[in-house]
């Protein structure tokens, strides 16, 4: 492996590998300017070599001044460093992201910097079908889901610049962004493309530049970073003294004066890039468009691997980069620099010879193998007679992505990705979490994986980047895959409104209300086509699709029009894993009974069983497992022990009810001076109203993990007690749930709580209830045209026919320290339009991440700051704001404020990994991969 230190350009390792001297290689594995250093560099080194006897300027004053003059920015916004690598590390150490989003494939230093501080990586995949151009929707998702977004422009190794739309997005205030512009000098339009001037004035953006690539001085190590002066001061405090040596400073000053060198570089590159791309394409290589001085191409059309080509080329004295070493690229990708014409001609000749040699070797191997009907998916070759002592490995060396290969070890290009389906013997068998675990496991193993559930029924929904509504479980599973959720992952969502009637949401938008019979008889045939189209798009985009079934697949009265279980498995050609919940009892009867109801074809599709939520000694279960395997002929893939305190959100309120019934979220509160139920540390008592039509209850999830908070769900005034704060959450039917508060006496208790200066928060429907009136002229929610509200906020809400679903971000000063502005993000789902009857303070300023609405205020707060409401779901998921509000509650009790202790998104990432590790350790993963069509044993 020539990239043993993670980079190209390692002539020492190449010499050891191929038995040549370093000067015998033509290096295409690193991307330096082939014109060599400008002539002024030699002059500087000759004239100033004696200056190494003195310390360099620790503030790099002269070079910073020249950079400030060139880019027309304040000198206080610039820090010079020992190459871009040092600055990458410094920037990440200063920002300390718990979760850092990185576009993959990308420069490995980004991820290494995050890993050094214990941060997690959120994958933002770049796709070949988009020519590896970063999509705006993925950027918006990644920025909302992470603490820091780190991107390259141009990206390394793809060579693609960020689009104008993406740059405009990054310029907007929000979560921190680091932009690596190491190769942007090679673009003649650098002046227009760079974001340096924005970064110099921005509190959220940093831009890193390298001077080593363009000026071909990697041995001197020189780069700089541009950011707001306050950020620069933070970076300086961490930087090692005299990081930039004397000669590097002098050379940096000198090369910037050589404008002829810049023009020569741009002129050479414009011609040579076009020529080289054309030559590579003539060899049958799939070339990615490039905006800079290197080119990424794939060998997939030739059935060859980068590692094999690198070996052949190295023997011919030419070094190329095996780009499969970059996360997100398969084993067919190669990156080469663009050099001078005489060198490029040698490259093309060596490539032609190497490809011919490898193709000949491939033909010899293939003649020793024949096709077998017993192969895995696709046209996979199986051995007739194995003559070699060591048959080819089935695993791509040097890359975690395992792909099906023919017997010669050649990767096969599948038209559609393979699938795996998780079905359960009943509802709540654990299908959603098992699917989530599989998503994270396959991601960890190198797959670009996506979840899919054709039809979901839930009131706890998730808003996609384009403002569409899908089931919460599929949104969570997409997060486990570290990809942006789309409506293709859950094309049909059913939201119950009343007995036997549900709102049907199709591709994220409300379609119409159906009763159960009409939906089944009239709409399911149409739904079938929608489901098939969504699944096909996912299979064309990702390497693997994990499908979740719904309910039980053995409902004989529903099977003829099934779109969620066995018929779907047939459309997807999916192997099925059948999950049963042993905690319910009767686990063997449920598995065997389900198998007995299946047709022979359906039984064949089931490849194994998972017994879930086990508590106890698994050895006592073994006789039953042996009996089940003997009786059905199907293996038990694993017995998954119950995993307590997982800290991942629940799919619907039924799971919340189970927690309440088991005492997990007790409604009773025993307090003595804030010390809850005998605990050693004082806790805030926060009561959440358990509305009958509760939706999006995950809004309060972060409070469950704050060390100084006790959360209780209550349904009656008697349970309220002396709560420190009360939260009225979202509802699928605001009017009916307001009437519930009125009928139970909770409204009277809430009004008394407010009269005594108690704290109340309303989110979405809860916010609407706090107003003076609810108007429903179209009877969208009820048959009441007007309902009196609680009257705590001067607003009225009119329910409209159209639902507003959008992701938003913004700022607030509410509860913040003096002169502090907190960034917030979340999403809106509501059909109400609110207007204000009197002047009111709006605590939040929001900006849609996609949509037509201009920046606008949100929410309202009473004059005493005790009662406030917002449309922003997820407001309490913002760590800084949540802690600011909790500290306000602490101050009202005379307690000292606390610092931020909970990084909720990082904790969620840890929970995904914990779930994946738990399931993996109790599952026969080799057998599972074999089901999908991948032999991990080699």
Catalytic residue numbers read 764, 873
Q: Which of these, 476, 484, 489, lies nearest to 648 by C-alpha position? A: 476
Map tokens 């699917």 to a residue.
435
354 close to 313: Cβ distance less than 8 angstroms? yes
**How deeply is 863 buried, as exposed, middle or buried, from its count of CB atoms within 10 A (0-12, 13-18, 19+)?**
exposed
Beta partners for 120? 99
DSSP for residue 113: H
What is the C-alpha separation between 271 and 131, in angstroms, rounded? 21
Map tokens 């020539």 to a residue.
2
What is the C-alpha separation between 27 and 314, in angstroms, rounded? 10
**How deeply is 201 buried, as exposed, middle or buried, from its count of CB atoms within 10 A (0-12, 13-18, 19+)?**
middle
Tokens coding 65? 């001044």
Number of H helices, E strands in the chain: 30, 43
Q: Which of these, 539, 493, 442, lies nearest to 912 by C-alpha position? A: 442
Q: How is 467-516 classified by DSSP, letter by letter?
A: S-EEEHHHHHHHHHHTS---GGGSSEEEEEEETTEEEEEETTEEEEEEEH
Tokens coding 428? 């709540």
304 close to 354: Cβ distance less than 8 angstroms? no
- E strand residue ranges, 558-635: 576-581, 606-614
What is the C-alpha separation between 28 and 36, in angstroms, rounded? 14
Tell whether omega for the bond before 149 is within 30 degrees of 0, i.e. cis: no
What is the C-alpha separation between 716 and 624, in angstroms, rounded? 46
Q: Which of these, 647, 746, 751, lies nearest to 690 by C-alpha position? A: 746
Rg (CA), the chain: 31
Beta partners for 811? 823, 845
Query: What size, in residues, is the chain?
Result: 938
401 close to 393: Cβ distance less than 8 angstroms? no
What is the C-alpha separation between 7 and 323, in angstroms, rounded? 10
The CA angle 201-206-207, to the nearest 5 degrees, is 105
What is the C-alpha separation between 507 and 519, in angstroms, rounded? 16
Which run of H or E residues covers position 122?
Answer: strand 120-125
Distance between first and last Cα of the chain: 20
Cβ-proximal residues to 199 (8 Å cutoff; 6+ apart), any chain: 77, 179, 205, 206, 207, 226, 227, 228
Map tokens 């005594």 to a residue.
756
Map tokens 């014109």 to a residue.
35
51 close to 200: Cβ distance less than 8 angstroms? no
Tell whether omega for the bond before 154 is within 30 degrees of 0, i.e. cis: yes
Q: Which of these, 226, 246, 283, lies nearest to 68 by C-alpha position? A: 226
What is the C-alpha separation between 663 and 44, in angstroms, rounded? 76
Tokens coding 239? 């930087």
Q: Is 112 left (phi over 0), alpha (psi -120 to 50) or beta?
A: alpha
**Helix pair 259-282, 341-367: axis angle to 10 deg:** 30
What is the C-alpha separation between 845 and 885, in angstroms, rounded? 17
Q: Sign of the C-alpha dihedral, residues 279, 281, 285, 286?
A: positive
């Amino acid at each position: 492996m020539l990239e043993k230190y993670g980079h190209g350009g390692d002539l020492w390792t190449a010499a050891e590998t191929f038995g040549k001297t370093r000067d015998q290689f033509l290096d295409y594995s690193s991307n330096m300017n082939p014109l060599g250093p400008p002539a002024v560099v030699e002059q500087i080194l000759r004239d100033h070599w004696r200056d190494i006897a003195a310390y360099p300027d620790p503030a790099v004053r002269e070079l910073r001044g020249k950079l400030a003059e060139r880019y027309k920015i304040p000198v206080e916004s610039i820090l010079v460093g020992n190459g871009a690598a040092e600055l990458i590390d410094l920037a990440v150490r200063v920002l300390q992201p718990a979760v850092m989003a990185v576009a993959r494939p990308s420069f490995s230093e980004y991820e290494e910097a995050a890993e050094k501080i214990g941060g997690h990586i959120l994958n933002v995949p770049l796709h070949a079908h988009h020519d590896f151009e970063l999509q705006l929707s993925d950027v918006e998702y990644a920025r909302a889901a992470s603490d820091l977004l780190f991107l390259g422009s141009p990206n390394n190794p793809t060579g693609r610049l960020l689009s104008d739309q993406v740059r405009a997005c990054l310029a907007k205030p929000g979560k921190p962004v680091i932009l690596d512009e190491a190769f942007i000098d090679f673009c003649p339009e650098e002046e227009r493309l760079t974001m340096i001037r924005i970064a110099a004035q921005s509190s959220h953006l940093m831009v890193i530049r390298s001077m080593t690539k363009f000026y071909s001085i990697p041995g001197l190590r020189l780069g700089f970073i541009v950011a707001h002066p306050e950020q620069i001061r933070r970076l300086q405090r961490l930087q090692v003294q005299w990081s930039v040596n004397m000669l590097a400073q002098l050379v940096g000053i000198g090369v910037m004066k050589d404008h002829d060198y810049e023009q020569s570089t741009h002129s050479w590159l414009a011609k040579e890039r076009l020529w080289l791309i054309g030559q590579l394409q003539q060899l049958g290589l799939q070339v990615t468009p490039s905006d800079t001085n290197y080119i990424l191409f794939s060998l997939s059309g030739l059935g060859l691997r980068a590692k094999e080509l690198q070996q052949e080329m190295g023997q011919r004295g030419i070094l190329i980069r095996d780009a499969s070493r970059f996360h997100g690229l398969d084993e067919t990708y190669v990156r080469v620099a663009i050099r001078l014409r005489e060198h490029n001609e040698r490259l093309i000749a060596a490539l032609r010879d190497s490809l011919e040699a490898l193709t000949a070797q491939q033909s010899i191997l293939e003649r020793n193998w024949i096709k077998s009907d017993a192969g895995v998916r696709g046209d996979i070759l199986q051995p007739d007679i194995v003559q070699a002592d060591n048959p080819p490995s089935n695993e791509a060396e040097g890359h975690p992505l395992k792909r099906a290969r023919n017997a010669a070890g050649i990767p096969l290009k599948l038209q559609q990705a393979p699938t795996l389906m998780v079905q359960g013997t009943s509802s709540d068998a654990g299908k959603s979490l098992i699917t989530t675990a599989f998503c994270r496991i396959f991601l960890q193993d190198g797959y670009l994986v996506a979840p899919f559930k054709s039809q979901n029924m839930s009131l706890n929904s998730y808003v996609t980047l384009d403002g569409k509504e899908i089931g919460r479980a599929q949104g969570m599973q997409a997060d486990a895959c570290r990809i942006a959720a789309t409506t293709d992952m859950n094309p049909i969502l059913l939201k119950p409104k009343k007995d036997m009637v549900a709102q049907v949401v199709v591709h994220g938008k409300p379609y119409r209300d159906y009763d159960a019979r009409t939906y089944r008889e009239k709409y399911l045939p149409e739904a079938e086509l929608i489901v098939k189209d969504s699944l096909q798009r996912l299979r064309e985009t990702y390497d693997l699709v994990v499908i979740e079934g719904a309910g039980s697949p053995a409902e004989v009265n529903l099977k003829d029009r099934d779109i969620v279980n066995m018929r779907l498995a047939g459309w997807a050609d999916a192997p099925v894993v059948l999950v049963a919940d042993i905690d319910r009892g009767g686990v063997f009867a449920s598995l065997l009974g389900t198998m007995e109801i299946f047709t022979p074809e359906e039984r064949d599709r089931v490849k194994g069983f998972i017994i879930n939520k086990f508590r106890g000694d698994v050895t006592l279960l073994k006789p039953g497992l042996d009996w089940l395997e003997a009786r059905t002929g199907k293996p038990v893939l694993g017995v998954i022990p119950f995993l307590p305190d997982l800290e991942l959100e629940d799919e619907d309120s039924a799971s919340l009810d189970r927690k309440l019934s088991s005492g997990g979220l007790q409604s009773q509160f025993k307090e003595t001076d804030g010390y809850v139920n005998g605990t050693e540390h004082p806790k805030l008592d926060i009561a959440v109203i358990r509305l009958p039509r509760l939706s999006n209850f995950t809004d309060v999830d972060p409070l469950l993990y704050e060390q100084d908070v006790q959360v209780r769900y209550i349904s009656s005034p008697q349970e309220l007690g002396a709560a420190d704060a009360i939260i009225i959450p979202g509802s699928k039917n605001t009017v009916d749930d307001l009437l519930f508060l009125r009928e139970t006496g909770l409204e009277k208790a809430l009004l008394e709580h407010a009269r005594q200066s108690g704290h109340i928060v309303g989110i979405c429907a809860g916010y609407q209830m706090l107003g003076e009136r609810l108007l429903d002229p179209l009877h969208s929610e009820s048959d009441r045209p007007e309902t009196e509200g609680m009257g705590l906020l001067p607003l009225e809400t009119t329910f409209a026919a159209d639902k507003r679903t959008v992701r938003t971000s913004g700022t607030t000063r509410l509860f913040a320290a003096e002169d502090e502005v907190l960034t917030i993000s979340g999403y809106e789902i509501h059909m109400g339009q609110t207007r204000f009857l009197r002047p009111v303070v709006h605590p939040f300023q929001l900006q849609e991440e996609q949509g037509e609405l201009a920046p606008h205020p949100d929410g309202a707060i009473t004059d005493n700051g005790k009662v406030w409401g917002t449309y922003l779901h997820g407001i309490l998921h913002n760590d800084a704001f949540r802690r600011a509000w909790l500290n306000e509650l602490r101050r009202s009790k005379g307690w000292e404020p606390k610092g931020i202790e909970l990084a909720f998104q990082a904790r969620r990432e840890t929970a995904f990994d914990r779930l994946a590790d738990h399931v993996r350790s109790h599952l026969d993963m080799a057998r599972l991969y074999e089901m999908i069509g991948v032999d991990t044993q080699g």
